[in-house]
Each structure stands twice: as structure tokens, then as C-alpha cells.
Amino acid sequence: MDRHIEAFLEMLAAERGAARNTLAAYAADLTDAARFAAARGEAAAAMSEAVLRAWLGAIAAAGLSARTAARRLSALRHFHRFLLREGIRADDPTELLDRPRLPQTLPKYLSEAEVDALLAAAAALPPRRAAVMRAALEILYSTGLRVSELLGLPRAALAGDAALLLVRGKGGKDRIVPLSAAARAAAAPLLAGKGRFLFPGRARTQPMTRQGFGLVLKEVALAAGIDPARVSPHVLRHSFASHMLARGADLRSLQLLLGHSDIATTQIYTHVLAERLQLLVEQHHPLARPPGDTRG
């Protein structure tokens, strides 16, 4: 691996607490760009704007999605800002590169009735699995945690009458989220177990894997009569956010609960606000009433 890329990755790990998956993605993207540049006689730390444009063009020609291209461009920008800051180069060739246009997608989420059905299906599992899945679903839906945050919860975090959870999120950033009474009650049977983690894996010293949790969640969805393809931990996070907004929460509070560093990320949920405002207008605006309706 190029020494400048290696130094950049070390900085991400040491100073920003980047997750292993994040580091692996940056390493793969930057190494690919460096190979492309090397074939054209340029070093990783001296890539020109023209070569970077050609690399992004090659990505598009290969049929990779705009989202993949945007992620790779983001890796390049962070890398070149690092080079600029360290004085390794005096310019940033990514400044004039256009970000690929991403399709506007709305977050997928379940209805409140579907969440209730999931909880009921989890409770009907064999006792041990029922206790684990009921607690996991209650905590996910009442807090909006990411699945990695959920599975990494230490048992001690819920010891006593904990009404608040201290959660370590992306980049090692901590935040505090309230825990509902229903979630605390569902988690209570797990507190008597052994080991560090509230949701231990087969090896009690390690948390349950995301893959293992996902498989059981699909099983619960099937039992609830919901297409398993529509259910994932992230869909439950979207459901938490969408339902909170639908019931009157504001975006800034939601940003804090979800652990978003930028409120622009939270704004993907404004579709819920738009639906609520449309309903408000339909119910209360005089021109929205049917002919003959004279209610004042």
C-alpha cells in the first residue's frame, strides 16, 4: 500500500476513531485510484485532476452506481485534504470534481401496526430467543440505535433503573438516549446473564454478530406476516425516526437521538413532515373543504 494512503488511514483510526469497515472501504477505494494513476505515470500523492476525472469516468463506464462513485469521490476528497493539511501537496485536485447526482430515495419504514406485529411475533418464539428478540426490538424501536450500537451494549449499561443509555456511536462519539419503560422491562430478563454484553454471541465474550441477529429478525418478520425483505435493523431505525416526526418531534431533537453529525442527514425524514403538513391543510384550510361544508 502507498505510504501516504497508509498514513491517512492511520490518522483516521487514531484521531477520528474510524470503524474497521470504514477503514477497509477507504483503503480499497484509494488503492484502486492509486493503481489507476500509477498506470498513467502518477503517484498516489500527486494525482492530477485530469486523472481523477478519468478514474471517475471509468467507474461510470463500468456500470457502477452513482452512490458507489460518490463514495469513492468522498474518499478522494478526504485523502487530498489530509495531504494538503500535512503539506504533502499545495493543491486539492478534487475541488472542481462534480459529485455524481444521486437518485432521491425515501427511507423505507414500517407502519406502527407492523412494528406491533413484530413485537408480538418475537414474544411467541421459544423462551430464550423470545427474551433476546423482544428486548432487542423494543430497544431498537424506542431509541433508533444502529444495529452495531445495539449489539455492542454492555450489560452494565442497563443495570439498575437506567432511564438513559450512554451509546458509543460512529467515530467513537458518545450520546445519551432515553430508554422507554417497555424497553427496560423487556431487557430485564437478560440482566441476570453472564458476560459483558447484553446480547452475547455463541462465544459469550463477544457480542452477537449482525448476521446472526439479521437471520433471527427475518424469521420474526415471517412469523409476523411481513415480507422479510422489508425488515432490517436499519428499517427499524427509519421507523423510529419516521414515527417520532409523525407524532410531533422536531428535526433537531431527532438529529441528537440518531447521532447524526449533520442535520442534513436527518432531513431525509422530512417526507413525514410533508405528509403531516398536507394532512393539516386538508383538515383545516377552508378551500380544502368539500362543497357545502360550512364549518367555521
- Give me the amino acid identity at 173: K
User: What does the block give as the cell for 11?
Assistant: 490518522
- 80 part of the active site: no
In the set 71, 196, 234, 276, the catalytic residue is: 234
d(CA 26, CA 24): 6
Q: How far is CA 211 from the centre of its chain?
A: 16
User: Residue 43 has which C-alpha cell?
Assistant: 503517484
Q: Which amino acid, residue 86?
A: E
Q: Is 260 assigned a catalytic role?
A: yes
How does DSSP assign 104-145, residue by residue? --PPP---HHHHHHHHHHHHTS-HHHHHHHHHHHHHHHHH--
Catalytic residue among 269, 276, 284, 295: 269
Which runs of consecutive H residues, i.e. helices, occur in the chain? 3-16, 20-38, 49-61, 66-85, 112-123, 127-143, 147-151, 181-187, 210-223, 233-246, 251-258, 263-266, 270-284
Q: Which of 80, 184, 237, 243 is catalytic?
A: 237
Query: Which SS3 state, helix, strand or coil, does residue 293 take?
Result: coil
What's the gap between Cα 170 and its chain centre?
9
Q: Is 269 a catalytic residue?
A: yes
Dihedral (Cα; 230, 221, 244, 156), 10-degree rounding = -120
Say whether 141 is catalytic. Answer: no
Kindly name the residue from 170, 173, 194, 238 that is annotated as catalytic.
170
109 catalytic? Reply is: no
Cell of 56: 471517475
Which residue out of 146, 184, 238, 243 is catalytically annotated? 146
- Among 74, 192, 200, smallest CA distance to 136 is for 200
Q: Which residues are tagged catalytic?
A: 146, 170, 234, 237, 260, 269
